[in-house]
Amino acid sequence: SCISLHTVLMTLSVTTLTNLSCSFRQLQEKSLKISSTLYVGNLSFYTTEEQIQELFSKCGDVKRIVMGLDKIKKTPCGFCFVEYYTRADAEHAMRFINGTRLDDRIIRTDWDAGFKEGRQYGRGKTGGQVRDEYRTDYDVGRGGFGKIIQMQKANHQPAIY
Amino acid sequence: MSGQPHKRRRTSEPSEIEERLESLICRVGEKSNSSLESNLEGLAGVLEADLPNYKSKILRILCTVARLLPEKLTVYTTLVGLLNARNYNFGGEFVEAMIRQLKECLKVNMYNEAVHLVRFLSDLVNCHVIAAPSMVAMFENFVSVTQEEDVPQVRCDWYMFAFLSSLPWVGKELYEKKDAEMDRLLSQTESYLKRRQKIHVPMLQVWTADKPHPQEEYLDCLWSQIQKLKKDRWQERHILRPYLAFDSVLCEALQHNLPPFTPPPHTEDSVYPMPRVIFRMFDYTDDPEGPVMPGSHSVERFVIEENLHCIIKSHWKERKTCAAQLLSYPGNNKIPLNYHIVEVIFAELFQLPSPPHIEVMYTTLLIELCKLQPGSLPQVRSSTETKKRLKRLNAFAKSHCILSFDRSDCLTQDLEKPKPKFVREVLEKCMRLSYHQRIIDIVPASFSVLSPANPVCIYKYGDESNRSLPGYTVALCLTIAIKNKASNDEIFSILKDVPNPNQDDDDGEGFTFNPLKIEVFVQTLLHLAAKSFSHSFSALAKFHEVFKTLAESDEGKLHVLRVVYEVWKNHPQMIAVLVDKMIRTQIVDCAAVANWIFSSELAHDFTRFYIWEILHSTIRKMNKHVLKIHKELEETKARLARQHKRRDSDDDDDDDDRSTDREDGPLEEQIERLQEKVESAQSEQKNLFLVIFQRFIMLLTEHLVRCETGGIDVFTPWYKSCIERLQQIFLQHHQIIQQYMVTLENLLFTAELDHHILAVFQQFCALQA
């Protein structure tokens, strides 16, 4: 017989839930502490794997690059994962590549728990990254205006004088 | 009595106090609202009060900062001086602890840190902690190392350096107290420096010309600086000396005598620092508007450079802090600090055999410095030979728009000459960080001959016009099959139809070396996967079995590499990543790559930067592989030892040999297997270096003979580049190559060799002699 999620939640005490989420966070932190994979953000849509390889190779041998793709179009959508063979090399990238420029954009690197199939796709509603749904600026390297603004513009009624 | 629990206790937890002490000590000397003197005074009071309970902790922290924060040396010697004045015994214990630490450092080859400790001790003379005569006695023991027989010159060099490099701090005081002894030491120094060998110097010099800035051997330069200091009656005005403000207190203190210090003897395990050449790029003619740069033989120059190097060493991991610390170096308005900083950074970047820290750190540090001081970093006037690190720096910096240079004289010269070559390589590197069209757009039309090629793949079976090429139809078949997701077996059967140009070698099995098969398969696959690195890597993985079979023989491996080159010769970066993957997936081995690099097909590209990138990367992979297996072996041995230990402690008098054997069995077997693996890896590693050196010798000898018989000048741009590349192999991998010295001397670098080539080997030997 099925037990509803609601019942489960009600029978678990608050402490248990807190403990569970704490353990999960601890596990997450632990895997980040040993990870040699980096998430790289704020890339231009036009930045290639070659450019990323060249830049990140300065910190050590790169094991693998996984380009972030628009879920629908399957084209690069401005992020990627860079995996090194050693943690030490990844630490160098966090120290010396994070916050520097690639394709004239300041890129950001963050520790990542490790690439898993499916994580290469943007999670925004229109297929790209979530941040590109909501942003209001015009960014030439990331498809222009944010998606919501683009849709608003498309639906905009011409003014009647 | 209130029912409330006391939230604040009179004293905190001991560990909290220790943390606070550590923090207080580490932070003294940094920017503060109060003066340094009052901070030191206050801290001395706090520490004195805590001595009864925390003496050993305080001793440990002070010894550590003496070793690890040498840029704040005089701050901490002053602190110790104040403590010694208040507590004589503590002063004595600190000196003893420092001597112990010094001995430890020397035992484990930590020579750079040992120098800091020696300098710290010598500055303690200025703080009235150590009696001058006993310091002179220690230096006498240092200098007498130069009288030892059958020891490497680098050992004597270090003791000499430790003595001389302390004199800017304490020369005045020592000379005032013991002038006769000091004169004797200095004259012994002079005679040592005159008789020591300097064969190693050419190998370490960055520029080959002595203009505009001579590159001196580091001990020679330091000696000139000390001689000048002596001539100036030991007046030194740059070093910050906080203890001067406390003179009245300190001169009341009782001093300690250093215990007699015998330099630990030379052992087989001793590894001394390698000699250096001082890199200079600025002098007093630079920046005419600002403060004058101290001369190259002034002791101020030495002290400033030492301190800046120390700051980089302390803060290299945090680039923003490092930049801030460098820019807040005291004396900002009396010295052209920005010039010193740039010179020190480039000195490290160009240091041979390799920079002290990862190269990319220096580029990001320069970027941070530019952010903090926009427009005020000096122009780098580089008018001499090329260096691969400057190329990389330039390319990276270009993407951040810092460096610009005028290279219009490149166009009139032969493209193999250093200047145009340099520009070509920089442009290629820039392209890797951006893309081809961008480079074409920004490079002026007159420079277009130096622009990199469009990195497209060359597929020989692509055009209908190539119909007549042998293997063309098979290539077409293969293309269709691969697009239809054919399996490895299907690929094999398609390839069976490819005739073997080496007909007589074919024993009918079809698995012997068939260059045409390799050509058709590799060309087609790489062409289909040309879209990106990821596509190519997937292709290598999917058809790994086919690759392994086709490249089973040594000739097969070589031919695979040749075809990769033919397809991707416009895209060196792609060649590099493909070769990397093929080594890692064991499609080719390191020796095959080495032979391919020296093959005649690659002769045209032999002096190009990417070739050496590939070779050094290959050597590094080999080295890492050996280390990895070695580590596995050591770990397994340790597991076995732990198992024995556990058994011994549990054991009473049980003599059951059979059961212990059974337990040990699998681990012992594993150790034996790993031992074999290590030996085989080490032998492969040695073979790789022998192949590389042998091919170099062949190539260079050929050139030398040709020049001799033709009566032409040996020193062509190609030759100079080649010789430097040979030197680079020695320098970059010196630790591994040291193991092979006997073999190299007896087998390859023998006396019959042309002296041009032998000189490189001899200079290398001189580095650890």
Tell me the shortest Cα–Cα distance from B574 to chain A, in angstroms: 8
Strand intervals (E) in B228-289: none
**Binary contact (B433, A54; C-beta < 8 A):** yes
Residue (of A92, A77, A80, A75) closest to A36 by Cα position: A92
Query: Is A158's pLDDT higher than 80?
Result: no
Residue B680's pLDDT is: 96
Cα–Cα dist B103/B108, whole Å: 9
* B chain contacts of residue A51, beta-carbon cutoff 8 Å: 432-435
Residue B381: the pLDDT is: 43
| Closest residue by Cα to residue B386 from B343, B429, B418, B426 | B418
Q: Is residue B4 less than 8 Å (CB to CB) from chain A? A: no
Determine contact: A101 vs chain B, CB below 8 A. Answer: yes
Q: Which long-range contacts (C-beta less than 8 Å, at least 24 apart) are formed by B27-30?
A: B28/B75, B28/B79, B29/B72, B29/B75, B29/B76
Q: By the 8 A CB rule, do B203 and B729 touch?
A: no
Cβ atoms of B299 and B233 within 8 Å: the answer is no
Alpha carbon distances (Å) from A16 to A141, B618, B626: 46, 53, 49
Token code pair at residue B262: 């015998």
Kindly indicate the confidence band of residue A39, based on its pLDDT and cuts at 50, 70 and 90.
Answer: very high
The DSSP code for B424 is H
Q: Do B534 and A53 touch (CB under 8 A)?
A: no
- H/E element, A39: strand A37-41
B440 reaches A (C-beta below 8 A): no
The DSSP element (H or E) to which A84 belongs, if any, is: strand A76-84
| pTM of the shown model | 0.87
β-sheet bridge partners, residue A39 = A81, A110
Classify the C-alpha dihedral B599-B604-B606-B611 as positive or negative: negative
B401 to chain A, any CB pair closer than 8 A? The answer is no
Nearest Cβ partner of A96 from B364, B400, B433? B364
Query: Do A96 and B617 lie within an 8 Å CB cutoff?
Result: no
Min distance B613 CA to chain A CA atoms (Å): 11
Q: Is there a contact between B533 and A49 if contact means CB atoms under 8 Å apart?
A: yes
Q: How many CB pairs under 8 A join A and B?
A: 61
Q: Is B533 on the interface with A (CB under 8 A)?
A: yes
Q: From residue A54, how far is each of A63, B392, B402 by CA, in Å? A: 13, 11, 19
| The pLDDT value given to residue B5 | 47
Q: Which of A48, A59, A102 sits opposite B360 (nearest CB)?
A: A59
CB nearest to A103's CB, from B359, B434, B577: B434
CA atoms within 13 A on the CB side of A104: 9
pLDDT mean across residues, chain A: 90
Chain B interface, mutation test: which of A58, A84, A117, most B Cβ atoms within 10 Å? Answer: A58
Whole-number pLDDT of residue B375: 67
| pLDDT cut 70: percent of chain A above it | 89
Contact residues, B window 747-766, toward A, CB-based 8 Å cutoff = none
* Residue in the block written with tokens 């050590």: A60
Give the SS3 label for residue A38: strand
Cβ contacts of A68 on chain B, cutoff 8 Å: none
Q: Do A95 and B317 touch (CB under 8 A)?
A: yes
Is the CB of A53 less than 8 angstroms away from the CB of B433? no
pLDDT at site B671: 93
Q: Are B522 and B530 in contact (CB under 8 A)?
A: no
Distance from the Cα of A157 to chain B's closest Cα (Å) equals 39
Q: How many CA atoms lie within 13 A of B269 on its CB side?
A: 6
Strands (E), B429-585: none
Q: ω before B212 within 30° of 0 (cis)?
A: yes
Nearest-neighbour CA in chain A from B317: distance (Å): 7
User: Which residues in chain A have their CB less than 8 angstroms from residue B573's CB?
Assistant: 50, 53-54
HEC states along A40-81? Answer: EECCCCCCCHHHHHHHHHHHCCEEEEEEEECCCCCCEEEEEE
Closest residue of B to A66, CA-based?
A: B534
DSSP strand pairing (A76-84 vs A37-41): antiparallel
Quote the minimal CA–CA distance from A51 to chain B in Å: 5
Report the pLDDT value the prediction gives residue B387, as an integer from 0 to 100. Answer: 41
Who's near B378: CB < 8 A, 6+ residues apart? B282, B286, B287, B338, B339, B342
Whether B533 sits inside 8 A of A102 (CB atoms) is no
- C-alpha A132/C-alpha B651 separation (Å) is 68
Query: How many distinct helices (H) and strands (E) make up chain B?
Result: 33, 0
Asked if A65 is an interface residue toward chain B (Cβ–Cβ < 8 A), one would say yes
**Separation in Å, CA of B441 to nearest CA in chain A:** 15
| Residues of chain B under the 50 pLDDT cut | 1-9, 381-387, 399-406, 506, 510
B51, B54, B57, B59: CA torsion to nearest 10: 10
Task: Give CA A113 to chain center in angstroms.
Answer: 12
Residue among A65, A80, A100 with most chain B CBs within 10 A, to mutate? A100
The token pair that represents B515 in the structure block: 């260059």
Per the structure block, which two tokens stand in for B130? 């150590």
Distance from CA of A9 to the nearest CA of B (A): 37
ipTM of the prediction: 0.87
Give the nearest chain B residue to A55 (CA atoms). B433
The structure tokens listed for A125 are 């509603």
Q: What is the per-residue DSSP string for B247-259? A: HHHHTTSPPBPPP
Measure CA A94 to chain center.
16
Averaged pLDDT, A4-32 = 77
* CB A79, CB A121: distance < 8 Å: no
Contact A49 B532 (CB under 8 A): yes
Residue among B317, B367, B432 whose CB faces A50 most closely: B432
Of B317, B360, B534, the CB nearest to A58: B360
Contacts of A92 in chain B (CB under 8 A): 358, 360-361
How do strand A108-112 and strand A37-41 relate by DSSP bridges? antiparallel
Residue A49 at interface with chain B, using a CB cutoff of 8 Å: yes
Query: How many whole angstroms separate alpha carbon B690 and alpha carbon B736?
Result: 12
